A and B are shown apart, each in its own frame.
Chain A
Amino acid sequence: MSNAIDQTRRMLSLVTYLRERPGAEVAEVARAFGITERELIGDLNVLPMCGTSFRGGDLLDIDTDGERIWWHNVDDVAQPLRLAADEATALLVAARAVAGLPGLRAGDREALTRAVAKIENAAGESAEGSARVGVTFEAESHVFADIDRALSEGRRLWLRYYSHGRGGMTEREVDPIRLLTEGHTYLEAWCRTSEDHRMFRLDRVAEIRVLDVPADPPRREPRDLSGGLVNPSADDPEVVVEVSSGGRWVAEYYTHDRAEELPDGGLRITLRSADPSQLRPLALRLGRDGRIVSPPELAEQARAAAREALAAYGEGRD
Chain B
Amino acid sequence: MAIAKAERLMNLALCLMNTRRPLSKKELRESVEAYREAWQNSSEDAFNRMFERDKDDLRELGLVIDVDENTLDGELGYLARADRNRLPEIALDAEEAAALTLAARVWQQAKMSGAASGALQKLRAAGVPFAEAESRTALEPRIPAREAAFEPLLTAARDRRPVTFDYRKAGAAAVEQRSVEPWALECWRGHWYLAGWDRDRGDARVFRLSRITGKVRAKSGAFLGTVPEHVDVRATVAKFAGEGATATATVRVRRGAGFPLRTKALSSAQVDEAWDELEIPYGNGLGADLAEFGPDVVVLGPEELRADVIDRLRAVAGLGVVTEGVRA
Contact = CB atoms under 8 A, between A and B. Distances in A.
B28 A107 contact: no
Nearest to B27: A54
Interface in B98-120: 98-100, 102-104, 106-108, 111-120
B99 A111 contact: yes
Contacts of A184: 189-190
Given A203-B263, A280-B294, A181 B4 contact: no
A50 to B, nearest CB: 5
A50 B7 contact: yes
A32 B132 CA distance: 8
A226 to B, nearest CB: 7
Interface in B23-74: 23, 27-28, 30-32, 57-58, 60-64
B316 A126 contact: no
Interface string B154-182: 10011000000000101111100000000
Residue in B60, B118, B292 whose Cβ sees the most chain A Cβ within 10 Å: B118
Contacts, number: 405
Contacts of A87: 62, 115-116, 118-119, 122
A122 interface: yes
Nearest to B313: A306
Contacts of A31: 132
Interface in A256-298: 264-265, 280-288
Interface residues of B, number: 132
Contacts of B11: 49-51
Given A91-B116, A162-B260, 12 more contacts: A9-B114, A56-B31, A77-B14, A81-B85, A86-B158, A95-B100, A122-B88, A176-B138, A180-B139, A229-B142, A248-B171, A288-B312
Interface of B: 3-7, 9-11, 13-15, 17-19, 23, 27-28, 30-32, 57-58, 60-64, 82, 84-93, 95-100, 102-104, 106-108, 111-122, 124-127, 130, 132, 136-144, 146, 154, 157-158, 168, 170-174, 183-191, 208, 210-211, 231, 233-234, 256-260, 263, 288-289, 291-298, 306, 310-321, 327
